[in-house]
Amino acid sequence: MHSTREKQASSSFKGNALAAFSFLLWGLMPLYYQYLPNADINELLAFRILFSVPFMALVFLLLGRTMPSMSALKADKRSVVLCGLASLIMCVSWYSFTWAITHGQVLAASLGFFINPLFAIGLGVLFLGDKLTSAQKLAVILGTCGISYMVYSYGELPWLALSMGSFFALYGLCKKFIRFDSLTSVTLEAIWLMPFAAIYLIWLWSSDQSVAISSALSGEVSVLLLYMGTAPLTLLPLVFFALAVRATSLSMIGLMQYIEPSLHFLLAVILFNEHFDQVKAVSFALIWTGLLLCSLEALPTLRHKLLANKHSG
């Protein structure tokens, strides 16, 4: 009995550690992209897609797992097609995020991932029949007020943050209907887009427009390596996250997801010296308040589940 309880506690701790580490890696990602200021985002996206496939193949090999057979894929064509749709949706979110952190807009990236849960709540209500709790309703109202205040003050929508938050929420919604495991679906998403990425990079090279390849040919191999490195950089946290989901509760993961935008915020203000004025302060404060209320509301449920698991052990 004690052995079972100890194993459950160990598994839960391992899952929590993996989840925290994945969000930490995502949160520190702007540090890497500072070596690629004003990067060619289209070429960067193509390199990221192309080298995602061999990287995920290596992950499967290291984990001792095998990709589903062609017969298994044919048996679930719907999920295969949804993986293609998910890859297109993720491209928009990743494109916006990458542009932001390579063009001095890390605060926009932070805002995008802070408001992502609000979009996710809305999509859950519209498409999954979810019912909002009192705290979630208030969080949506406060988040809407925060965005509205920013629009009123600046006279324009925060497009970068909204595109990141909304498309990442759509990506999560799409993944709800994919029956493959996380690692398999991520690999299939890259495979769907790999031919287009390869054709685009070949065209860039043949027309002498490739930044990375031209730099490598002129002796600056580091630029090419940085472009290629975006694949493991963005996928490694996802691998840790996929492993974490198996070992810990979604409630705990939900509470820890704010590690990422919090780190983005601190890096933007403290390290990158981005302008943080009164308007952003008010907008962020309203959104943070809503998310804090949701987190506080979730804590008793999380505590109850942890106690139930403990007693069942």
**Contact between residue 266 and residue 96 where contact means Cβ atoms under 8 Å apart:** no
The first and second tokens of residue 290, run together, are 């809503």
What would the mean pLDDT of 148-163 be, rounded to a whole number?
Answer: 90
Residues 237, 252: Cα–Cα separation, whole Å: 17
pTM, 2 dp: 0.85
> pLDDT confidence of 5, banded at 50, 70, 90?
low
The first and second tokens of residue 235, run together, are 């996928």
Q: pLDDT for 214-223, tens place per residue?
A: 888 888 899 9
Identify the H or E element spanning 204: helix 182-206
Supply the pLDDT for residue 269.
92
What would the mean pLDDT of 32-44 be, rounded to a whole number?
Answer: 89
> Which sign, positive or negative, has the C-alpha torsion 143, 145, 146, 150?
positive
Domain boundaries, the chain: 14-312
Q: For residue 208, give the 3-state DSSP assignment.
A: coil
**Cα 139–chain centre separation:** 21
Q: pLDDT for 82-103, tens place per residue?
A: 999 999 999 999 999 999 998 8
CB atoms within 10 A of CB 93: 21
What is 57-105 written as a DSSP string? HHHHHHTT--PPPHHHHHHTHHHHHHHHHHHHHHHHHHHHHHHHHHTT-
